[in-house]
Amino acid sequence: MALGVPRLVQAAGAPSVKAGKTGKTGKTQSRNAPVELLAVNSKETLQLRLRDDQGRPLRGVQKRFDVLMRCHHTKKQHAMNPRLVRMIYQVGKHYPGRRVEIVSGYRHPSVAKNPHSPHMQGLACDFRIAGVKNTELRDYLRAGFQKVGVGYYPNSAFVHLDVRKDRSAFWIDYSRPGERAIYSENALGDLKSGRAETYKPTKIDSKWALEPEEFGDDAKPAGDDGPTEAADPGNDPGGGSVPSGRTASAAAFGAPRPTAH
């Protein structure tokens, strides 16, 4: 770059904001810029930001997030996991100027029929990014975050994200809104083959009608909307080594899905 340019850029930058320790005022400001969240059911919005222009943590963020993410069936609130708040913010920052549209956050036990749903514990969020394909969002979430569950719903309009303590999980659920889950038995294989984008089930395959007992009901507690058996995205970004786990085990969560899914 030409030597004279930085001075001009600085002069045109945000002069009213005090520079941080690094002196990169503009960067500090944009790093902490708000992300717009919209709760699609309540139509409420939140300008989510975690820190002010000087990088100081803002108060009340968690509370406002909890309100926005409340159960849209029962209006009940629940403390959302702080790491989920940070991840949603980070995702929003990854798509500057685009709104994060929340389809479902907290789900009250009376509507979360899956007793293991992380939505019920404030650990999960179903969302999309306005103007961004869910395939792209899915891939970004899988590559960009560790110890998360990512659920892809090619026949619905959101991607599921939850926080986990151990390893990551990925699954595909081919159900349409309001339908019972139709999990892919081989989520990574379906990504690779392209089936994930083309398979449109018209009815539930008989093999998914197995009683929960057939799979045992000891599935890992974090498995909400989907299987917990999946590859760690960090180890398998391209879907090359397909896990041998029984991804179908999540069919054990046989209860009809809440209408949000």
Which lies closer to Zn ion via its Cβ, residue 116 or residue 160?
A: 160
Q: Cα separation of 46 and 37, whole Å?
A: 5
Residue 261 DSSP label:
-
Q: Where does this chain touch Zn ion (CB under 5 A) — which range of 56-64, 68-76, 156-164, 243-251?
A: 156-164
Q: Where does this chain touch Zn ion (CB under 5 A) — which range of 50-58, 118-126, 184-192, 204-212?
A: 118-126
User: Cβ of residue 9: shortest distance to Zn ion, in angstroms?
Assistant: 43
Residue appearing with tokens 């961004």: 132
101 touches Zn ion (CB under 5 A): no
Which lies closer to Zn ion via its Cβ, residue 89 or residue 158?
A: 158
Q: Where does this chain touch Zn ion (CB under 5 A) — which range of 30-38, 82-90, 123-131, 134-142?
A: 123-131
Q: Cα separation of 193 and 63, whole Å?
A: 43
User: Cβ of residue 155: shortest distance to Zn ion, in angstroms?
Assistant: 14
User: Cβ of residue 224: shortest distance to Zn ion, in angstroms?
Assistant: 5
CA distances from 244 to 100, 180, 183, 190, 248 (A): 34, 24, 15, 14, 11
107 touches Zn ion (CB under 5 A): no
Name which position in 93, 116, 160, 257 contacts Zn ion (CB under 5 A): 160
Q: In one letter, which amino acid is 58?
A: L
Q: Cα separation of 243 and 128, whole Å?
A: 27
225 touches Zn ion (CB under 5 A): yes
Which lies closer to Zn ion via its Cβ, residue 30 or residue 259?
A: 259
CA distances from 60 to 49, 50, 63, 65 (A): 10, 9, 5, 9
Which lies closer to Zn ion via its Cβ, residue 190 or residue 225?
A: 225
Q: Cα separation of 94 and 35, whole Å?
A: 10
Name which position in 68, 105, 122, 126 contacts Zn ion (CB under 5 A): 126
Q: Where does this chain touch Zn ion (CB under 5 A) — which range of 45-53, 62-70, 91-99, 217-225?
A: 217-225
User: Cβ of residue 225: shortest distance to Zn ion, in angstroms?
Assistant: 4
Residue 85 DSSP label:
H
Q: How many residues of this chain bind Zn ion (CB under 5 A)?
A: 4
DSSP 128-182: EETTS-HHHHHHHHHHH-SSEEEEE-TTSS-EEEEE-SS--EEEEB-PPTTSPP-
Which lies closer to Zn ion via its Cβ, residue 32 or residue 114?
A: 114
Angle at 111 between CA 110 and CA 112, to 5 degrees: 100
Contacts with Zn ion by CB under 5 A lie at 124, 126, 160, 225
